[in-house]
Structure 1
Amino acid sequence: MMRSFTSLRALALLGAGMILAPQAASAQDNEADTSASEGEGNAILVTGSRIRRQSQADLASPLATLGSENISDIGAQNIGEITQTLTINSGAQNNPDAFTQGGTTGTSNINLRGLGVASTLILLNGKRQTLSAAPTNDGINFVDTSSLIPLIAVDRVEILKDGASSLYGSDAVAGVVNFITRENYEGFTVSGEYTTHTSEGDYSEYNLQALGGINIGDLNLLAAVSYVDRTALTTAERRLSEPADDTSSLGNPGSFFGVPGFPAGAPVIDPGCADAGGFPNVLSATPAGVPDVGFCGFDFGEFFNLVPDEERLTIFVSADLDISDSVRWSAEVGYADNEATRGNSPTFPFLQLGQAVVPDFNPNNPFGANVVFFGRAIGNGGDVSPATFESETFRVSSTLEGDFDGLLQNGLWNISATYAENNFDSATEDTVTDRFACALRGFNASPAFNAATGLDCTAANPFLTANGASIPTDGTFFNPFSSALLGGAANSAALLDYITEFAVSDRGAELFVVEGFVSGELFELPSGPVGIAVGAQYREQQISADFDSISVGDGFAFLIGEQPFAGTQDVYAIFGEANVPLAEWADLQLALRFEDYGADGGDTLDPKFALLVRPTDTLSLRGSFSTSFRAPSTFQLQGQSTTLQQVSDPLNGGANAFVAVRAVGNAALTPETSDAFNFGFTYEPIFGLEISADYYNFEFDDAIVQTAPQSIVDADPDGPNVIRSPAGTIIQVNNSYVNAASVETSGIDFSIRYRIEADFGTITPSFEGNYVFDYDLQTAIDGPVINGAGNRNFTNFGSPTPELRFNAGLQFETGAHAFNIFGRFIDSYDDDQNGGANIESDFRVDAQYSIDVADFLELDNQVQLTAGVRNLFGVTAPSVATNGGFDSRVHDPRGTLVTVGLVAGF
């Protein structure tokens, strides 16, 4: 769809790479010297500033760093697993399921502070990545961290935990996560990990990676590749849900309306329901020998996945060249191909009841009258229907930078260009409305039938032509009755294949960014030099989507359809930053950014003020305040999507219904604004002991959200936006995007780490966590304030927000041996989908042992063996009375995982 334009731009950027290259915004850790240049000693760029500093400790904003050793210690095998360990992450969609995140299978993202998956800016070496072309169920496009980089190439991850829009732009309102690759690497390293699920199911995972680097004079070349092959963990193998939560009223066998002798609105259960494997839900008992009134339930709970089947290939290549003593060039290219397959029920419910007429002349009809089928084409006895997803991402970035002295001392200039694209294709099987209607009719062209439905079921129908059938013949009639399953007139494979089709989507997203800045020391104060940085940025974001012809014509019975769209957003920005040493013990950081989104988004001027005070050598105090602005995205303004979501029906006793939610863009959206402030300290009373805490507060006004489908149903359950079948069940909810009145969250981050050096080894206990004080949501200016802290927030637009999360760790290193044990706690919270029922807390323990074989055996090359257990005690995800049986945005559905790994370096 976008590849011709993509190729031209990619070639242009590769050509531009001869003069431009990316410089990583980085920070020192214990493993590597990350100086910006040899000439500047320890002066470095850290995430959260464009002014070079002596260390990240000089930054007034809260910045956390995970080094490559930290990542190895926690046993993370991919970026999604790193995210899930972050206590400040809440509600990320790293395990997309068919029920709440059906269109993004195979992706992962980050959701700092629960402010939304698009509110955290994701950087790679300080540069942007394109958004995923596939939106979440609530219509948000995000950066897919699964497509970012091979984990073996990551040197560290820096997390800026306060607002950063004044530095990086509007999508950094909740913070920044910057993935930084290895620098000046020489050698070759390979690693392999195998993980198996010791609980129910055949789930396993292979993760193979390789990293190579070479120095050729002043040129360093690095290449990394990773390949992941993950088998599925199906709900048939490890079921967490109760059958009652996964039983649909629309099954096969099903029920029928219009049966002679019964009221027109009374559903009559197929008499063979129970014998064919259905679950009769009797609403009104009848005399013996007379069909009951009610529904024939279908338990679809064993057809889905807790973890999809996946293959991932990720490649990263970079080049760094010292052109001279003062000028450096670098470039990087990335590619990722993620393929995932997830199961669905054999067919979705057939919701277009006006087209579900079974005529009296259907030879399988036992009622002798026209009746309306309430069910699905294939149910009991059917096989899993696969849904496939493929995400292909390409990125190229190039930067040229250099040192200078003049008006600015110790100056740095930097210009860069980045292009990235994502193409996301998916295919999901559903019943085609008119084909099914004609099959019930046996493709008969009765005028009365045509008048009622507008269908053309003549001999020109492709199914009849392909199968050489005449009209009418019994072989062309679809049999929706239990007799098809109980030894009677079974439906042919050809007919079943004809009435179903794959709804295919082809989505694309592109990003083009050009940026430049200069920084340096403007003048000297008695307490030190005043540093400044000024620059400008242009970025263009494109999002588009195409669909198959049936979808465009709203021709599917459950998925309904989608409409193609395309949109572009251009953003121009200028920015500035200053670092003023007020005293030897106090630094003031000032930042200001102006962004212009054009007619669709307006413009904004956002400041940031941050103060760092060091009253003693062991104590530092920090505080920051910033404002931000986020314009409506192209998708929110112009896009359209139809997703499958679960709602509870207040007119049907609170029964859960799985419905189509159609959301359309809202051109009247206005930008959202926010204020954020942070106060914190770091205290190091003795050598090796570090204690830190930060209080944060984010307040959004006019926040852009998609209205929660449940709130639409609750507000007006029989209104124009809640579409119901003749039986009264919900089949569709019409939705859009709105500016919510406000979102406010506050809380505290805390951490304690103590590195104890002893004769027998090194012991490092650690404890870190996050406690949410407030997470208040208001959907309308005059509406009630919802207390979302400690709530699942299913019925509103918020993220699930347990109040307390913490990680407790103990590491022991002696000689060639290392032992790690970690405990991860997620607090209990309330389930607003189910009357405030308690969702229990979750505490899991991971353990890992590694041995440096090279050190142990005194070998020249690196060889390390690792064995680990995740979820050592086999804790099961807390139960939630919903489809799937657990909260996929909070908990891990897997049981105990055993991993063995080998790393070899040459």
Structure 2
Amino acid sequence: MKMTQLLTSKKIIALSISAALTFSVNGQDKVETIQVTGSYIKRTAVDAAEPVQVLDYNFIQSTGATTVAELISKLAISSGAENQADSYTQASTQGTGNVNLRGLGLSSTLVLINGRRQTISGAITNDGSVFVDTSHIPIDAIEQIEVLKEGAASTYGSDAVAGVVNFILRKDFEGFEINAGISKVTDSSQKDTDIGFLWGTEFNNTYITVSGHYLDRTPLSTADRPDLGDNAFSSLGNSFLLYPIQADGSFDFSPITVAEGPYAGTYAPFENVADPSCLDDELGVLIPQASGTRCGFNYGPIYNLVNTETRTQLYTNISHDFSGGTQLSADLSWSSNKVKDNPQSPSYPDLTFPFISSIHEGNPFGTGVIWLGRPLGADQDPALAPRKNETFRASFNLAGSFENNWGWDTALTYSKNTYTQYQQDQLRSRLVAALAGEGGLNNDELFNPFDRTSITDSIIEDFTHITKSEKNTDLLAFDAVIDGRLFDMPAGPVNFAAGIQARKEGFHVATDDVYEINYDADGNPIPVDLIFLAGLSEVDVDRTSFALFAESLLPVSDNIEVTAAVRYEKLENDSSFDPKIALRWQASEKLIVRASASTAFREASLSQMNATAATINGISDFNPDGSAKSPAFVGVLARGNEDLKPEQSKNYNLGLIFKATSSLDFKIDYWRVDYTDLITVENAQGKIADDPNGEDIIRTAAGLLSAIEVDYFNSSSVTVKGIDIESVWKINDQFNLTFNASHFLTYELTKDNGEVVEAAGSFNYDNFARSLPEDKATLNLNWVGESQRASVNVNYISSYETAIALPENESAKIDSFTTVDTQYSATFGITEESEATITLGIKNLLDEAPPRVFNGFGNLSYDPKQHSPLGRVFFAKAKFAF
């Protein structure tokens, strides 16, 4: 990688650190200090140069959230995360959670647990993003969450481009708490039931804290919210395209007449003919074509908006204080999340679009036809596609101090995730055999697509296959840091920290023999024996990295302090040098000015470099005249690229902190990220729009779209600018008001074809950005009494627009979305040493429905990356403390 720099800041940092290293250590006593995410230096200033938002335990409890995903969805700075079920655009991340700071992508946010790295999930998004799975973290165990709202590669290394989210878990707890809760959607049977506990004790300077949480979630079907899935249908139900070729190979373009039977009528060559029984099932739909009619399949009511799911999470912290100030601690955690149903269409359409000859036993047309359909239709039970997500983490930390008041801190952290995915499809070879009368378990049965009532259980069992894939990720990280006071300047001591980090990460993919992608002698992928799913390549790779870093805090004057940091990271095939400089100026008693400039980077993930994987996307093909066809789901084959370069960014922040009174403050920050060499996967819709007949657009002999091949690549640039606002008003001893907002000024990106577009305020259906409302904001009012408390939370997401071609009855505008959550708690004494707390609340008090989104035919009619489909939810919780 080319060495990055920010004008002269690199020289300033190098001079300040080298100067710091030339002085001997001062042995003065330490002042009470704290360490904030984004720095290794402990300091007395609460409002440091780094823009950090802190969500403390009381705030987290006031939201009523039962999962980390629910909590993250309310963060103003997070936009476009995948925290809800959506089988259409995020089918391979169900049962997980993530964060997307600044909307810069799931891979651009670094997630830490107790300040240490965590392995990424084995789940991979449709656009190839990798992420740390936040569903591993039990919400009951969280002490506070610190959100660093700027790049932090100089401190933490790769991935901290958009910022850092640090989950700080509870420890040193004494007592026992057990809690249980239930939340239920008001107009549906969907409910969440959860139970958790927290126990801690201390003996002989040893502290033990144990926490556990179990969640049982029941489903919410799209059938219960039909307006959210009314565009989720396919034109490929069961239809036939008359292809006028005879048994002897000659063509006959004469009209085709069927004298009797369900297909009786006269048809033109190349006309679409729908199955006459199409409307016998309520999920069948007739779709007019330029020539004839197709039988479509309204699969929307089959799918879930919320899946049946169970989550089990365990966490423990054990620490011991030795004489002399040395402390040994260990964090151990394990989680198992299971998506138990995840219903899908009974079968996918056959994207090979088989040709059925004129002499097929069931063919009533007397001429060849191309079958546009799926082996199993609306008359069959849905196929289930369960997911299993298991994570283990162990972190061991040994810290202490030298006699000269310098401190040292070492940690060894190992984490592993296994994501298992099941998906049903049909074997192409066995379907072809069945069409030829050689199907079934004894190879002697005929599958007649012209008469769906003739299909037997033996045929279904013979050509149906349930694929299984398992992705394993693991990370071993060693950290060592020293920090202390170097010397005194007239304005105060110069503090310094330095350290090393070594990491080894692995990525392993295993799948069944049918689903595995193999390659021919020329290195080209061999199509798997499935009619729809395009397969997955087996991978077994790992890599290592090593980093040196240093940081110095210099009090330039009584009112100005400068922080300088630098990190050198040696990657397996590259390297990165990332400096940072930050300034904090106490301009007056009430006004603080802060500014920072830094560089950051993100290394390509092992999956982006080595794996080939297929996803299923709704794609609009094009007619010869250039008009768009109705979207249909096709396989998109994403190919790994070993030549990917690390992404690079330059990050800037300028902020003001105004303390109007001792109880009211305002923080406003202008930020900018200049992102280059962004790693993304080619947008399949954009690719076919640019060239419908390109070499990577796979079509059948009849010209029908079958699949699209896309590659990971380094795109040119993204420039993102915005403003964050935060205010806390402690009205009195009982009332507290908190406001947070994030606004995009611009999100300028370059599409695959080189076109520069503005993504802020857009749904971004045809580029690599996610939906990006310009504004998100939260307002939280808390009242705390002696034994009672109450809260009101207002969550706002601004409107945005889509540029997709719209039917007449659809709107390009996606309305704003405002929800109000409220809760009340009361605490009662049970005995002298125990108490109970009862909480009652309502989420989405006004029963606001998610705004309608037209995302093409074949997808949900709302945006699950921004809005909730639940409506009003009542919840109740009980906590008993002993």
TM-score (norm 1): 0.87
| Structure 1: unaligned runs, 5 residues or longer | 1-38, 286-292, 444-456, 458-462
How far apart, CA to CA, are the structure 2 residues paired with 1:255 and 1:353?
10
How far apart, CA to CA, are the structure 2 residues paired with 1:588 and 1:881?
50
Task: Sort the Cα spacing of 1:405 and 1:145 in 2 relative to 1 into closer, same or farther, 3 A.
Answer: same
**Alignment match, 2:394:** 396
How far apart, CA to CA, are the structure 1 residues paired with 2:473 and 2:799?
38
How far apart, CA to CA, are the structure 2 residues paired with 1:323 and 1:627?
40
**Alignment match, 1:419:** 414
The reply to whether residue 310 of structure 1 matches residue 309 of structure 2 is: yes
Q: 8 Å contact 1:358–1:441 — kept in the other structure?
A: no
Three-state SS of the structure 1 residue aligned to 2:754 is coil
Deviation at 1:668, TM superposition (A): 2.4
How far apart, CA to CA, are the structure 2 residues paired with 1:202 and 1:561?
36
Q: Deviations over 1:738-788 (max 9, x none)?
A: 111101111101022211226xxx2223322111101000136x9231101
**Alignment match, 1:586:** 560
**Alignment match, 2:671:** 696
Match of 1:612 among 581, 584, 592: 584
**Alignment match, 1:339:** 338
CA RMSD across the alignment: 2.0
How far apart, CA to CA, are the structure 1 residues paired with 2:620 and 2:608?
26
Three-state SS of the structure 2 residue aligned to 1:297 is strand
How far apart, CA to CA, are the structure 2 residues paired with 1:427 and 1:242?
23
**Alignment match, 2:218:** 231
Q: 8 Å contact 1:254–1:296 — kept in the other structure?
A: no
How far apart, CA to CA, are the structure 2 residues paired with 1:78 and 1:231?
15
How far apart, CA to CA, are the structure 2 residues paired with 1:357 and 1:134?
39
Query: Counterpart of 2:201 in structure 1: which amino acid?
Result: I
Deviation at 1:726, TM superposition (A): 5.0
Q: Deviations over 1:122-179 (max 9, x none)?
A: 11111111100121111121100001x2111110001111110000002111111111
Moved more, 276-285 or 102-111: 276-285
Match of 1:826 among 797, 822, 825: 797
How far apart, CA to CA, are the structure 2 residues paired with 1:811 and 1:630?
39
The reply to whether residue 496 of structure 1 matches residue 452 of structure 2 is: no
**Alignment match, 1:36:** none
Q: 8 Å contact 1:265–1:727 — kept in the other structure?
A: no
How far apart, CA to CA, are the structure 2 residues paired with 1:903 and 1:398?
31
Q: 8 Å contact 2:241–2:369 — kept in the other structure?
A: no
**Alignment match, 2:259:** none
How far apart, CA to CA, are the structure 2 residues paired with 1:82 and 1:42?
32
Query: Counterpart of 1:634 in structure 2: which amino acid?
Result: L
How far apart, CA to CA, are the structure 2 residues paired with 1:332 and 1:116?
29
Deviation at 1:324, TM superposition (A): 1.7
The reply to whether residue 669 of structure 1 matches residue 644 of structure 2 is: yes
Deviation at 1:817, TM superposition (A): 2.1
Q: 8 Å contact 2:544–2:571 — kept in the other structure?
A: yes
The reply to whether residue 405 of structure 1 matches residue 403 of structure 2 is: yes
Query: Counterpart of 2:429 in structure 1: which amino acid?
Result: D
Query: Counterpart of 1:626 in structure 2: which amino acid?
Result: S
1:313-324 aligned at under 5 Å gives the runs: 313-324=312-323
Task: Sort the Cα spacing of 1:228 and 1:433 in 2 relative to 1 into closer, same or farther, 3 A.
Answer: same
Task: Sort the Cα spacing of 1:784 and 1:370 in 2 relative to 1 into closer, same or farther, 3 A.
Answer: closer
How far apart, CA to CA, are the structure 2 residues paired with 1:727 and 1:871?
51
Query: Counterpart of 1:635 in structure 2: which amino acid?
Result: S
Q: Deviations over 1:282-308 (max 9, x none)?
A: 3367xxxxxxx2311111111111111
**Alignment match, 2:39:** 49
**Alignment match, 1:295:** 294
Deviation at 1:649, TM superposition (A): 2.6
How far apart, CA to CA, are the structure 1 residues paired with 2:716 and 2:43?
40
Q: 8 Å contact 2:778–2:795 — kept in the other structure?
A: yes
Three-state SS of the structure 2 residue aligned to 1:77 is coil
Q: 8 Å contact 1:267–1:727 — kept in the other structure?
A: no
Deviation at 1:269, TM superposition (A): 2.2
**Alignment match, 1:804:** 775
| Structure 2: unaligned runs, 5 residues or longer | 1-28, 247-255, 257-266, 518-527
**Alignment match, 2:14:** none
Query: Counterpart of 1:521 in structure 2: which amino acid?
Result: R
Query: Counterpart of 1:613 in structure 2: which amino acid?
Result: W
How far apart, CA to CA, are the structure 2 residues paired with 1:850 and 1:41?
38
How far apart, CA to CA, are the structure 2 residues paired with 1:526 and 1:432?
78
The reply to whether residue 385 of structure 1 matches residue 383 of structure 2 is: yes
Match of 1:571 among 522, 535, 545: 545
Moved more, 253-262 or 818-827: 253-262
The reply to whether residue 205 of structure 1 matches residue 192 of structure 2 is: yes
Match of 2:234 among 239, 242, 248: 248
Three-state SS of the structure 1 residue aligned to 2:301 is coil
Match of 2:617 among 641, 645, 648: 645
Q: 8 Å contact 2:441–2:461 — kept in the other structure?
A: no
Q: How many residues align?
A: 813
Deviation at 1:55, TM superposition (A): 4.8
Query: Counterpart of 2:415 in structure 1: which amino acid?
Result: A
**Alignment match, 1:746:** 721
Match of 1:176 among 164, 177, 186: 164
**Alignment match, 2:743:** 771
Q: 8 Å contact 1:253–1:273 — kept in the other structure?
A: no
**Alignment match, 1:896:** 872
Task: Sort the Cα spacing of 1:824 and 1:284 in 2 relative to 1 into closer, same or farther, 3 A.
Answer: closer
Three-state SS of the structure 1 residue aligned to 2:279 is coil
Q: 8 Å contact 1:45–1:53 — kept in the other structure?
A: yes
**Alignment match, 1:544:** 508
Q: 8 Å contact 2:441–2:462 — kept in the other structure?
A: no
Q: 8 Å contact 2:219–2:307 — kept in the other structure?
A: yes
Three-state SS of the structure 1 residue aligned to 2:818 is strand
How far apart, CA to CA, are the structure 1 residues paired with 2:432 and 2:502?
52
Deviation at 1:858, TM superposition (A): 8.2
Deviation at 1:440, TM superposition (A): 1.3
Q: 8 Å contact 2:238–2:274 — kept in the other structure?
A: no
Q: 8 Å contact 1:642–1:660 — kept in the other structure?
A: yes
Moved more, 831-840 or 865-874: 831-840
Task: Sort the Cα spacing of 1:268 and 1:583 in 2 relative to 1 into closer, same or farther, 3 A.
Answer: same
Q: 8 Å contact 1:43–1:53 — kept in the other structure?
A: yes
Three-state SS of the structure 1 residue aligned to 2:371 is strand
**Alignment match, 1:34:** none
Query: Counterpart of 1:890 in structure 2: which amino acid?
Result: Q
**Alignment match, 1:290:** none
The reply to whether residue 870 of structure 1 matches residue 807 of structure 2 is: no
**Alignment match, 2:174:** 186
Query: Counterpart of 2:478 in structure 1: which amino acid?
Result: V
**Alignment match, 2:656:** 681
How far apart, CA to CA, are the structure 2 residues paired with 1:560 and 1:51?
50
**Alignment match, 1:29:** none
TM-score (norm 2): 0.89
How far apart, CA to CA, are the structure 2 residues paired with 1:298 and 1:567?
41
Deviation at 1:549, TM superposition (A): 1.1
Deviation at 1:259, TM superposition (A): 8.1
Query: Counterpart of 1:343 in structure 2: which amino acid?
Result: P
The reply to whether residue 518 of structure 1 matches residue 516 of structure 2 is: no
Three-state SS of the structure 1 residue aligned to 2:69 is helix
How far apart, CA to CA, are the structure 2 residues paired with 1:69 and 1:842?
26
Q: 8 Å contact 2:239–2:273 — kept in the other structure?
A: no
Deviation at 1:842, TM superposition (A): 0.6
The reply to whether residue 131 of structure 1 matches residue 120 of structure 2 is: yes
How far apart, CA to CA, are the structure 2 residues paired with 1:129 and 1:242?
36
Task: Sort the Cα spacing of 1:848 and 1:257 in 2 relative to 1 into closer, same or farther, 3 A.
Answer: farther
